[in-house]
Chains A and B, each alone.
Chain A
Amino acid sequence: MDNLELKKIAAEARKDIIEMVYSASSGHPGGSLSGVEIAALLYFEIMDIPSFTDPDRDRFVLSKGHASPLLYSMLCAKGVVPKEELKTFRRMGSRLQGHPDMKKLPGVEMTTGSLGLGVGAAVGMALAGKTDKKNYSVYCLCGDGEIEEGSVWEACMSASHYKLDNFILIVDNNNLQIDGEIGKVMNPYPINEKLAAFGFDVVTAEDGNCFDCLRSAFGKLTEKNGRPKALVAKTVKGKGVSYMENQAKWHGSAPNENERDQAVNELDMELARLAEEEK
């Protein structure tokens, strides 16, 4: 897909994320916004998903389940979730639970929310694929704070032990967790070296909010060599909403009406710019 189209999808997704969190008066904008380009590139260019029930489809697991608005924005863009339904996010009876629920919403590949568990489940999907001699790949997005969980590394160990070159771990390296900078709270660096030591082919995307940069990084991770893949994407938490960028406080708080308006304004301007470019 061309970059312009992807950028439009990204800006729309950001608006959806803001509207969801605003209408729920709760939720996690920061880590949803940082992963938009990663998810958009996967859903609209890289992954092959003829339908969400096709057993041969590529799979996306959002291990950092608190970024559910990101996943829902993608499922909306894919036509699985009607735009109207986004307003039900986090409300009683909604399919759009605070953290993704695979039994409530088709298209959610794995129920997540307790950090560090989705990575292992994604490895399980990749292992099942290998066992059944299928060609699908499993993409798993996890947080850079999330990788402090030991279970992430157990999952990595097993991915490499079972030679799962169909498993691609993406670390959303926005450098922030709740209590502050990851290096100050509980330093997980160096991330690339650790993943390499666990047997992964590792590539860095120096700008994880840039489609070209991500595309070229993913392009280096396609070799069927029996090694699992990892992409460390250096992103900006809160990306696309000026006052949220790089601010830990926007990890898990909702904008008020003024803040919502400002965010939507900025994103509308971005969409207008893109429309201009298209002409």
Chain B
Amino acid sequence: MSEDIATREAYGLALKDLGAVNDKVVVLDADLSGSTKTSNFAQAYPDRFFDMGIAETNMTNVAAGMAACGKIPFISTFAVFGTGRNYDAVRQSICYPNLNVKIACTHAGLTVGEDGATHQSLEDISLMNGLPNMTVFVPADAVEARAAVFEAAKIDGPVYLRFSRGKTPVIYPEDHVFIPGKADVLRDGHNVAIFACGVMVSEALKAAELLYGQGVSAAVINVSTIKPLDKETVVRYAQKCGNVITCEEHSIYGGLNAVICQTLAEECPTPVRAVAVNDVFGQSGKPDQLMSHYHLTAMDIAKKYKEFGEK
């Protein structure tokens, strides 16, 4: 494993490289270009970068208009403002008319840290999942983040990309091929299937190792496309393992757990346990302290397995 890299860093670099090969790509930011890393693109292509100021709703509508004129706008801000503040604009101006806008947000989830609850989006996946025409990518590492940016540009329609603030382990080799809509089995197993997304994927891998030490064989599946969900893989692994744990740095409602439970309830009823934020807001703190406090660590995932009882 190489050094840890934040997915937002990978986003910024990928965006710049995408700009080089696709001149339809334009980037809009809302006074956070240094943090979202769109500054990389801004420096390389100043005439295709638009700082919209602290006005996220307008940024979203303007992007819709540019898409209607053939551009491929990427709009960036923190996840809480890029999905929540502007939600109606995303719904009405982008998703309903199915316009080609990429909502690429950074600083998702608790790992925002010290800024606290106002800045920790734990509902963004839920909000974006609920919208027809939307594709939802939650990359697990820098390699996947980069690939997701290029794949998003190939899709003719709205895509939500969720990136993190903090540095996270790089899971994939550089030549890894990210296939949109396909869940990726990172580790095979037969006692429990652990489905994870984003920063929780590396925790899930650590949990599988912990469980292995306890004689439990855990499969780890990276669900980096939440929508459309790879139902085939979800059902196959639920069938194979008979127990499912879902892991996400997000509310227990409306995210990965929700879509997996929905799928399994219809196609393969299976006991499922959630590692997610249990319907509360976050607070200020160091990212790792918060992840422990809200029970989002490898240890918490491994502990969840006990809830399935003797098998």
Residues of A within 8 A of B (CB): 24, 26-27, 65, 90-94, 96-99, 101, 111-116, 145-146, 148-150, 177-179, 182, 185-186, 188
Contact = CB atoms under 8 A, between A and B. Distances in A.
Interface string B32-57: 11110000000000000001111101
B116 A97 contact: yes
Interface residues of B, number: 30
Contacts of B29: 179
Contact of A94 (B32, B51, B284): B284
6 contacts: A93-B285, A96-B284, A98-B115, A99-B117, A113-B119, A185-B51
B284 A97 contact: yes
B58 interface: yes
A94 B35 CA distance: 25
Contacts of A179: 29, 31-34, 51
Contacts of A24: 114
A177 B33 CA distance: 12
A148 B285 contact: no
A114 B53 contact: no
A263 B51 CA distance: 32
B34 to A, nearest CB: 7
A90 B29 CA distance: 27
Contact of A177 (B31, B113, B117, B118): B31
B293 interface: yes
Contact of A92 (B34, B81, B117, B290): B290
A26 B107 CA distance: 15
Interface string B168-179: 000000000000
B283 interface: yes
A114 B80 contact: yes
Given A26-B114, A114-B118, A178 B32 contact: yes
B115 A177 contact: no
Contact of B53 (A26, A98, A112, A186): A186
A188 B31 CA distance: 13
Contacts of A185: 31, 51, 53
B290 A145 contact: no
B92 interface: no
Interface of B: 29, 31-35, 51-55, 57-58, 80-81, 85, 113-119, 283-286, 289-290, 293
Given A24-B114, A145-B31, A92 B293 contact: yes
Those 4 A-B pairs whose CB atoms lie nearest each other, nearest first: A186-B53, A113-B118, A92-B285, A98-B116
B54 A90 contact: no
A148 B54 contact: yes
Nearest to A66: B115
Contacts of B81: 114
Nearest to B58: A150
Contacts of B113: 26
A24 B114 CA distance: 8
A186 B51 CA distance: 7
Contacts of B55: 148-150, 186
B181 to A, nearest CB: 33
A178 to B, nearest CB: 5
A192 to B, nearest CB: 19
Given A92-B286, A101-B117, A179-B51, 20 more contacts: A24-B114, A26-B113, A92-B290, A97-B283, A98-B118, A99-B115, A99-B116, A99-B118, A99-B119, A113-B116, A113-B117, A114-B80, A114-B118, A115-B54, A145-B31, A145-B54, A177-B31, A177-B54, A178-B35, A185-B53
